[in-house]
Amino acid sequence: MVLVVSYEEDDHTAAVVARLRGDGRGVALLDTSRLGASDSLELEYRTGHAPAVRLHTPDGEFDLLAERAGWWRRLSGFAPDPAIDDPAAIGFVSSELGEVFEGAVGALDLDWINPPAADARAHHKPLQWALASQLGFDLSRTVVTRDPARARAFVDEVGLGRVVTKAFLARTDAWRETHVLDADDLERLDQVRYAPTILQEYVPGVDLRVTVVDGVAYAAEIDATGTSLPSDMRMVLDEATVRAVELPAGVADLLGRLMRRLGLIYGAIDLRRTPDGRYVFLEVNPAGLWLFAEERAGLPITAAVADALAARDGGRPRGVRAAADGGMVVA
């Protein structure tokens, strides 16, 4: 049985769960947004007896202590029952739901993809940049600042039209694309005082999305250079050319070392290959998307994720390639 912490509306979750169930593998889906309504975590502790941790859902009851493998995909918040409308009560119930979830799931002895603590730690871009620098990656020159004077000095030094800004987290309720600063932005630069702001030297070239699953790297080149928004390939995937590519051994080795330093089994890594052949590290998303790379470049990533989970649930299925000696295998 595989415990999946995510939600049904996530198409990546749906694809992996369908494959697992199609192979006869049991799956329990834990959607945090339903724990205050249709679903519930039921716990019991007493002297002389093993704890009980059960997930109750409309699909059935699952003994989470009997699970062996876990996929920590994406959380969807802790929503109280819709009947609760008092703001104070909503805050209280949400807090209590979070405490039960984090305590109960944190105590499970599962073989996780990714381990929850490592996943949370690895989401932080400043940590990623620090480790990437230590490992010897090429990095785009970057400052994080709330000082308008420092921001202006950086833009003056790098040059207008050669600086991008981006958000630390991609929030659906406050979406920010990776944006090249223009003259209008200069007039609003004083606003950086309200929140830490990433300013980064723009690196020309083609994007690479490298999806790493259990020590195997699946690399897709996304050439957005001729699109309407070459600074952010996420926004113009329908215009970009996408194809599978092979990584140089040295780059694959660096990525493997970074994943191990972050404690990640899965990660979607963004690089940019410059016209002169340098591979510049941008970021890694521990819960990043892969279906576009699978569909456009023919990379079998859904199968790789499902097979990695199945292997942790007992027995490595056919077709799974283990990385020898902890290194990186390039698919």
The CATH number of whichever domain residue 154 belongs to comes to: 3.30.1490
Closest by CA position to 298, among listed 245, 251, 234, 235: 245
Non-local (6+) Cβ contacts of 142 within 8 A are: 129, 198, 199, 200, 201
Residue 207's SS3 state is strand
Shared domain for 151 and 256, answered yes or no, is: no
Shared domain for 102 and 157, answered yes or no, is: no
Domains held by the chain: number: 3
- Let me know if residue 80 belongs to a domain: yes
Q: At what angle do helices 249-262 and 125-135 cross, to 10 degrees?
A: 130
* pLDDT of 321 strictly over 80: no
- Let me know if residue 244 belongs to a domain: yes
- What is the overall mean pLDDT for the chain? 91
Shared domain for 16 and 103, answered yes or no, is: yes
Confidence (pTM): 0.89
Shared domain for 84 and 190, answered yes or no, is: no
- Let me know if residue 306 belongs to a domain: yes
- Let me know if residue 128 belongs to a domain: no
Confidence class for position 199, pLDDT limits 50, 70, 90? very high
Residue range of the domain that includes 67: 2-113
* pLDDT of 68 strictly over 90: yes
Please tell me the distance from the alpha carbon of residue 143 to that of residue 157, in angstroms, as a whole number: 12
Please tell me the distance from the alpha carbon of residue 121 to that of residue 117, in angstroms, as a whole number: 6
Shared domain for 164 and 228, answered yes or no, is: no
Summarize pLDDT for 107-119 with one digit per residue, the tens.
Answer: 999 999 999 999 9
Shared domain for 250 and 319, answered yes or no, is: yes
- Let me know if residue 286 belongs to a domain: yes
Shared domain for 158 and 106, answered yes or no, is: no
Strands 216-223 and 329-330, by their bridges, are: parallel
Shared domain for 58 and 76, answered yes or no, is: yes
Task: Pull the structure tokens for residue 113.
Answer: 């993809």
| Backbone φ, ψ for residue 188 (5° rounding) | -105, 10
Shared domain for 181 and 218, answered yes or no, is: no
Please tell me the distance from the alpha carbon of residue 65 to that of residue 107, in angstroms, as a whole number: 9
Shared domain for 229 and 302, answered yes or no, is: yes
Summarize pLDDT for 22-59 with one digit per residue, the tens.
Answer: 999 999 999 999 999 999 999 999 999 999 999 999 98
Shared domain for 278 and 247, answered yes or no, is: yes
Task: Pull the structure tokens for residue 34.
Answer: 């339903």
Tell me the Ramachandran region of residue 325: left when phi exceeds 0, alpha when psi lies from -120 to 50, beta otherwise. Answer: left
* pLDDT of 221 strictly over 70: yes
Q: Which own/partner contact pairs does 179-184 have at CB distance under 8 Å and 24+ positions apart?
A: 179/231, 179/232, 180/231, 181/155
Question: Residue 217 pairs with which residues in a beta bridge?
Answer: 212, 330
Taking residues 93-118, report their average pLDDT.
96
Shared domain for 194 and 290, answered yes or no, is: no
Confidence class for position 205, pLDDT limits 50, 70, 90? very high
Task: Pull the structure tokens for residue 293.
Answer: 């790379």
- Let me know if residue 81 belongs to a domain: yes
pLDDT for residue 319: 37
Question: Of the candidates 166, 183, 201, which is a domain's last residue?
Answer: 201
Question: Of the candidates 185, 201, 217, which is a domain's last residue?
Answer: 201
Question: Of the candidates 182, 201, 220, which is a domain's last residue?
Answer: 201
Closest by CA position to 265, among listed 273, 274, 256: 256
- Let me know if residue 125 belongs to a domain: no
